[in-house]
Chains A and B, each alone.
Chain A
Amino acid sequence: MADASFGFSTLQMGELAIGKHVQYILSVEKKKDSFESVVMDHLRMNGAYWGLTTLDLLGKLDSVNADEVISWIMTCQHESGGFSGNIGHDPHILYTLSAVQVLALFNKLDVLDIDKVATYITGLQNEDGSFSGDMWGEVDTRFSYIAICCLSILRCLDKINVEKAVSYILSCKNLDGGFGCTPGGESHAGQIFCCVGALAIMGSLHHVDKDLLGWWLCERQVKSGGLNGRPEKLPDVCYSWWVLSSLIMIDRVHWIDKEKLVKFILDCQDLENGGISDRPDDAVDVFHTYFGVAGLSLLEYPGLKAIDPAYALPVNVVNRIFFGR
């Protein structure tokens, strides 16, 4: 199962239809009248992040008009400093992170009033170190990750209580080494990514039992080579990100069969119309297109920019934030 060589023979495997996927993403942006599109209206900010990060990984971020995107993003910011999923909707921490991430892609973090955004986020930390999604108080470790990732990108992580944030996340650790959404919540790859990513950014990965969690994570790989999110569930391309990035952050990715996973992701492409789906022959969407491409980047598929497993942004963008001038 261990990957003996790090080179790939692209003759034997399918290929990534880069051009098709770029076209697909650009077309989704324009097609706002279908029912599917309207039903996802409220999370357009997330959609922007998925689509634009994919374009950047494929080297095609310049296919979009940055100024248009940025001015739309800023109209989604509320008095409180938080961002909504789209114009008219209420602010929420989910969309605040996506907004900041997209601005980072365009190297335009300077359009932000950083204190304003930081105030919104720090206001969402609770006594026990957890984070709420918005003023209505839903608590979930997803929001811990979001808060920590966002403030870190804005270089002001010290504005929250880091020690309590860490201890809350640890209180969500389970018997199998994984993490759930709240204390006692079942381990789930998505939540694991959020907790491991948050701990990574806070320099606290030594709290993770890497061997135990690594084992649980590598058992997500099924016969077809794809990854599922929990035991006895179906594989799904989005787990190629959540499971894979977690494995990479704890340095246990050599415990899965990388070649088989690459093949699974490539099999999920719609080679005619572009885009990637959750499973082979299912309908495509921007969400899975992003996770498929990001997963391939983590697997060092040739021709793609490298992505950072904790910040979920291209490595050059992260380096620019922390080391650039």
Chain B
Amino acid sequence: MHGRPRKASKPEDEAASTAKAQKLRALQTQFFSFHHSKIYTKEAVELSAKLLEINPESYTAWNYRKLAVEHYLSQPDCNPESVKSVLDDELRVVESALRQNFKSYGAWHHRKWVLSKGHSSIDHELRLLDKFQKADSRNFHAWNYRRFVAELMNRSEKDELKYTEDMIYTNFSNYSAWHNRSVLLSALLEKKAEGFLLKENLLPEEYEFIHQAIFTDPDDQSGWFYHLWLLDQTVTTDHPLLVSTWPAHGSDVFLVGDRCQNGSFSPFTTVLSDSGSFPIVLYFNQPVKGVSSSTVIIECGFNKNEELLWEPLSVSNLQTAQVWVAHLKFPTSELDSSVEISVGYSKEIVSPRGSQYSHPSTFSFKVHVQPVERDSSRVSVAENILWREENFKAYRAQSEESIPIVSFDQLCIKNGHESTPIVSFDQLCIKNGHESTASNWQTEALAKEVECFRELLSLMDCKIGKLTLARLLTAYDVMSFPFANKLDEYSSVLLRKMTSSEESLLQHCFQYKDSVSSAIGNPICLRLNNLSLSRIRAFERLLWVQILDLSHNELESIEGLEAMQLLYGLSLGNNKLRSLTALEPLRKLKSLRVLDLSYNQIGDHSIDTTRYLCSSPLSHSAGSELNDVALINYWEAFYMFKDLKLNQLDIVGNTVADEKFKSVLVKIMPSLKRLDGQLLD
């Protein structure tokens, strides 16, 4: 099927082929009659060997041979000598079949099956494997079989590690060998085997090793992916960690009802709440399980910890997510209270692979509640947002009103004030001139790598090398390295830079000019328009945002946006969203009331790239709530919008938004008051 040249068939070739085919058919027919009649004579078994020699893919013949062996082993007159001879026969048949096709699943499995009957020596098998390695060092069947034999015959991981070393020195471009090396090293590190206790002793040597490969041929991918793994091993810990929270540690949160009067509160941390509760968001470095009111303890004067329900912000119903939220109810009367939250003191928060949460910590913040004034003549703040340039004014600190400045650290950066280990490659943030939170060997290792590759890449143009270096430099928070918009890296770097200092962040902070809402409680609108953003990142630093303007970018995805639990108003106008299912992250935004989706590409594409990243029956992540036959053709709209409580929606400029579709939306969302600028009755 693979690698055969295309050529016109000549009549003599066809005749020869037909003759061969007839022979094979005859063999097959005879084989079937033996198999179906359960005949296992020497002659019958011989026939199956002949068949497998010509066609090792004829899987039923391998099954038959296993039945024949089992039949023989159950005979009363079988003895160890004859058993050995029978099994030797099987091994010979496998070897002959593998010569025909060394990628035959059936042949390799048969060999494993024979070996599990307790026969053949490890030396014999390893010699066989050497032969295959020489023929094709990337034959994954052979590598799998090697791992099988090593386990079956208790060959030490250290010996196997030496083998990968030998293979790599024979040929650096042996991805399979590097891969096997990573598997063995991971196992040894996890077992804390002797000599493999500390990464800081092991990794520098591995770096030396991989440098040899990369410098020999920088364009060969084998080395680069292994190098990326080493970097990851240097930086990350398997254990889940808390990266960021909202409210942030040490912050003051002002909660106001939707109509209020006086006070001087910062628009950064004033939250409008019409639900009588506010969210507490925990942002981890990886998906975790086990977040509940017994692993996260909240101490506050006005609420009982046990009543809190922690919800994972992910599509799956398997109770695993990187971001978790709980809603804390607050009283309607005036309140100034402290809240303390302890995370991970009991060891049940775990990663999917079972690594326990480490570094239990506590964070605290103050909550101030402003009494609600009931005045029905006032319009609700910013209920109708018109996302036009002229409606926003830049936020100017201090000079105008005496609004207390919010400390940037309280807004954007994470959980504790005590030093925490490096959390993950992407979140690594070693600022110039600041105390790094990394321990020495990690910083040293990374510095060395950056140095090493800067030099290499100045000498040659190596695409994959540049990407690796870009990731390293992101870790180092340096912006000067130029590269094209590959892998959405540009957006990632831009957003990290923007959220890394108070100055750069404030440049994007605006407030809505609506005269009514110039009273307190007009939250900050973060405006990130016209930045060619293809992806949004750095969510852990944006948890405080209530109004977000992302219009006029290149966004095809809003993956991760579910973390922004405070979002009230969102504009995604003039982007490249291609399907309704891409809106999945919005379903978790309980406070979202205003949404602009105008001028995207929803309805233009036949292939949906977020079909399996959304909640639907296709991925068993939604039930069969769709009972209305009339809505079946609009199932995507149904699942995406049914849980949203929008007041205002703009969807004009999308192919999907015809009159029928708009009437379906109105049906699905009874709370909707405005659609494409028109008031609904």
A residues in contact (CB < 8 Å) with B: 1-2, 6, 33-43, 84-85, 88-90, 92, 134, 136-138, 140, 152, 157, 162-163, 166-167, 170, 174-176, 180-182, 184-188, 200-207, 210-211, 214-216, 218-219, 230-233, 236, 248-251, 253-255, 270, 277-279, 281-285, 287-288, 297-300, 306, 308-310, 315, 318-319, 322-325
Contacts and interface: CB of A to CB of B under 8 A. Distances in A.
B25 interface: yes
Contacts of A88: 28, 32, 36, 60
B384 interface: no
25 contacts: A34-B18, A35-B18, A39-B24, A42-B57, A136-B109, A170-B353, A174-B183, A175-B232, A176-B225, A176-B228, A176-B229, A180-B144, A184-B147, A203-B316, A205-B315, A206-B287, A206-B315, A218-B487, A231-B222, A233-B138, A251-B610, A277-B6, A282-B3, A310-B612, A323-B632
B605 A300 contact: yes
Contacts of A37: 21
B609 A200 contact: no
Contact of B464 (A6, A35, A180, A219): A219
Q: How large is the interface on B (under 10, 10 to 19, 20 to 34, 35 or more residues)?
A: 35 or more
B140 A39 contact: no
A206 B605 contact: no
Contacts of B20: 35
Interface in B41-68: 54-55, 57-60, 62-63, 66
Contact of A205 (B180, B225, B612): B612
A296 to B, nearest CB: 11
Contacts of B228: 176
A164 B562 CA distance: 27
A43 B147 CA distance: 29
Given A6-B604, A92-B59, A138-B109, A284 B6 contact: yes
B99 interface: no
B173 interface: yes
A231 B225 contact: yes
A214 B535 CA distance: 14
Given A282-B3, A283-B6, A323-B617, 10 more contacts: A43-B57, A136-B63, A138-B109, A166-B318, A184-B147, A205-B612, A210-B559, A231-B175, A251-B610, A283-B4
B468 to A, nearest CB: 10
Contacts of A283: 4-7
Contacts of B36: 88
B179 interface: yes
Contacts of B621: 203
Contact of A34 (B21, B182, B318): B21
B1 A287 contact: yes
Contacts of A89: 59-60
Nearest to B601: A6
B627 to A, nearest CB: 11
B290 to A, nearest CB: 14
B618 A201 contact: yes
A163 B144 CA distance: 25
Contacts of A176: 179, 225, 228-229
A50 to B, nearest CB: 11
Contact of A187 (B179, B317, B619): B179
Contacts, number: 227
B505 interface: no
A120 B182 CA distance: 37
A132 to B, nearest CB: 10
A30 to B, nearest CB: 14
A92 B66 CA distance: 15
A232 B173 contact: yes
B315 A203 contact: yes
A253 B557 CA distance: 12
Contacts of A1: 484, 486
B131 interface: no
Given A186-B176, A283-B4, A285-B1, A306 B606 contact: yes
A289 to B, nearest CB: 11
Contact of B629 (A39, A278, A325): A325
Contact of A39 (B55, B109, B143, B232): B55
Contacts of B22: 33
B226 A248 contact: no
B635 interface: yes
A189 B464 CA distance: 19
A181 B179 contact: no
B221 A219 contact: yes
Given A39-B24, A207-B287, A90 B620 contact: no
Given A90-B60, A206-B322, A254-B556, A185 B6 contact: no
A251 B613 contact: yes
A230 B175 contact: yes
Nearest to B16: A35
B557 A251 contact: yes
A35 B315 contact: no
A270 B6 CA distance: 9
B220 interface: yes
A218 B463 CA distance: 13
B632 A308 contact: no
Interface in B514-535: 534
B174 to A, nearest CB: 9
A283 B2 CA distance: 8
Contacts of A210: 559
B300 interface: no
Contacts of B140: 180-181, 185-186, 188
B215 interface: no
A41 B60 CA distance: 11
A94 B651 CA distance: 45
Given A36-B17, A90-B60, A175-B226, A182 B316 contact: no
B536 interface: no
B144 A185 contact: yes
A92 B106 CA distance: 12
A201 B605 contact: no
A308 B66 CA distance: 38
B60 A42 contact: yes
Interface in B584-637: 601, 604-607, 609-613, 615, 617-621, 626, 629, 632, 635
Contacts of B194: none
A309 B607 CA distance: 9
A211 B24 CA distance: 49
A175 to B, nearest CB: 4
A203 B59 contact: no
Nearest to A284: B6
Given A88-B32, A176-B225, A300-B605, A236 B18 contact: no
B612 A249 contact: yes
A220 to B, nearest CB: 10
Contacts of A297: 607
